[in-house]
Amino acid sequence: MKLDINYFVILPQIVLTFFFLLQLVVDAYSRSTGRKSYVGYLALVGYALLAAIPVVVWGVTDTGFNGMVLFDKFAQFMDFLFGIVGILIVLIAPRYLDDVGRDRGEFYILLTASLLGMSIMVSTTNLILFLIALEIMSLAVYVMAGFEKEKGRSVEAAFKYFIMGGVASAVFLFGVALVYAGTGSVDASLIAKKVAGCKVLPVVLGGLTLVLAGFFFKIAAVPFHMWTPDSYEGAPTPATAFMAVGVKAAAFAGLMRILIVSVKPYPLVIEAILWTVAFLTMLIGNFMAVIQDNLKRLLAYSSIAHAGYMLLGLLAYKNGGLSAVLFYLLVYAFADIGAFAVLIALGKDGEPVEYIDQIKGKASIHPLLGAAMIIFLFSLAGVPPTAGFFGKLFLFKSAISAGYIWLAVLGILTSVVSLYYYLRVLVYMYMYEPSDVVPARQSVSVGIGLAVMSFFVLYLGTVPAKFIDIAIDALKKLV
């Protein structure tokens, strides 16, 4: 077999690897000379490039390394999303890390590494390469979750995530082994050829089920969600935001690529599994969020619920469900990171915001933060005219036209439930007297981040058609 080296298709990965290594060297150098490390700025440049590459080369597609790496519109769309998520996390992270006295360059280095893993994940159908990339992403995120390593809860978060993640990876790998045993291939596109036309071997179905279980863990779907609240609560808030948005987006993209390419149409078992998991995830995620007093736990359960909504789109892949998921991921990224960013902005030195009591009456001291929180939470709940409304509309519409009417009804009903707990946060912010009137420290970068995110939540809500068209375009080759 000949070498098929194609530097164009791994351009995003080359950029990220370059910045990853550069950050390592710069951080080590500035540490040894006792200067403040500026790796955060390097990260910004790197992620801006990551987001810019797809915009520049949009539509120029190629494959390389003997079909191992696909640089198609889907990968480009996801690279763009990852770049944006990375930039937003870098904007909100310094303030929090400063508050808890952990402003260390490693955070951005690990962030770059995990983005690198994600960007490889979304550009391959080869399960071995996918698993390696998944591990790069996960290892970096485990450490980010335990970044406040002197704080017990942060370590607990990291440890739980690590143990459960390790088991999930093992299950995933076992599934890949079974799929290989049944089809003789580890490439989803070749698996599809083996599966198509003939009856699917039980061993392949079993393998795919285990692969699905690995994915469900990463997207925090019920019943693989047990680690989520604890890990999200204990992890540093910017890391939590990244886990809730970045990791979930990468896992969903991988799920789309692998599942849709390898088994289309779904065998009955896979469809039943997706149906059940979507049902439980929407139900349990939303109802558990109602009883939370810890805001990070609340957002954790809400992120579980959102995974449930997006699973609807995966089920309805024939009726535009996938493009709805891509659009939803984009909207969800802005709104969810935004909500976490407001928590960060309200925090004080050594006293980050976690409990709902801590934000009592804060809107009267910080009217702009209050307004931003309204926008983000309304978008998460799906209230028009925010982008979240259209995200849910597209998802439910595709689910209904694909015949999953009961799931769509459940989705709409649980969205009403979600309105209760999102509004409760706003009631605490607006309707109570503030317990102390000392305003929180201002931070320029968080301010910029919040402005950008609120703008996009509203902008995506005004012209959703434009972006849904891009999402449909990105998926043309996949479906």
Partner 1 sequence: MLATMLIYIFGALAIFSGLMMILYRNPIHSALWFGLVLFSLAGIYALMQAHFLALIQILVYVGAITVLIVYVIALLNFDQRDLVGKVTILKGIAVIVAAILFIELLFYVGGLYVKGIAPPPEFGKAANIGLATLTRYLFPFEVISILLLVAVVGGVYIAKKD
Q: By the criterion CB under 8 A, which residues form the site for partner 1?
A: 1-3, 5, 10, 17, 20, 24, 64-66, 68-69, 104, 106, 109-110, 113, 116-117, 120, 126, 128-129, 132-133, 135-136, 139-140, 142-143, 146, 149, 158, 178, 181-182, 184, 201-203, 205-207
Q: Which residue number, 158 or 326, has a Cβ lying nearer to partner 1?
A: 158
**Among the listed residues 212, 223, 335, 340, the one whose alpha carbon sits nearest the alpha carbon of residue 288:** 223
Q: Which residue number, 91 or 116, has a Cβ lying nearer to partner 1?
A: 116
Which residues are within 8 A (CB) of 99 and not within 5 positions of it... i.e. 6 or more apart?
A: 344, 347, 348, 349, 350, 351, 352
Q: Which residue number, 158 or 341, has a Cβ lying nearer to partner 1?
A: 158
Query: Measured from the CB of residue 378, what is the shortest distance to partner 1 in angstroms?
Result: 37
The whole-angstrom separation of Cα 369 and Cα 390 is 24
| 367 contacts 282 by C-beta, under 8 angstroms | no
Query: Measured from the CB of residue 133, what is the shortest distance to partner 1 in angstroms?
Result: 7
The whole-angstrom separation of Cα 97 and Cα 3 is 45
Query: Measured from the CB of residue 274, what is the shortest distance to partner 1 in angstroms?
Result: 18
Query: Measured from the CB of residue 140, what is the shortest distance to partner 1 in angstroms?
Result: 5
| 119 contacts 103 by C-beta, under 8 angstroms | no
Chain centre distance of CA 263: 24
Q: Which residue number, 23 or 386, has a Cβ lying nearer to partner 1?
A: 23
- Residue 355 backbone phi and psi in degrees, to 5: -95, 155
Query: Measured from the CB of residue 281, what is the shortest distance to partner 1 in angstroms?
Result: 19
Query: Measured from the CB of residue 402, what is the shortest distance to partner 1 in angstroms?
Result: 28
Q: Which residue number, 116 or 326, has a Cβ lying nearer to partner 1?
A: 116
Tell me, letter by letter, the H, E, C secondary structure of 85-107.
HHHHHHHHHHHHHHHCCCCCCHH
Q: Which residue number, 149 or 476, has a Cβ lying nearer to partner 1?
A: 149
**Among the listed residues 13, 12, 9, 479, the one whose alpha carbon sits nearest the alpha carbon of residue 256:** 479
The whole-angstrom separation of Cα 343 and Cα 355 is 10
Both tokens of 462, joined, read 């005004």
Query: Measured from the CB of residue 445, what is the shortest distance to partner 1 in angstroms?
Result: 23
Q: Which residue number, 203 or 412, has a Cβ lying nearer to partner 1?
A: 203
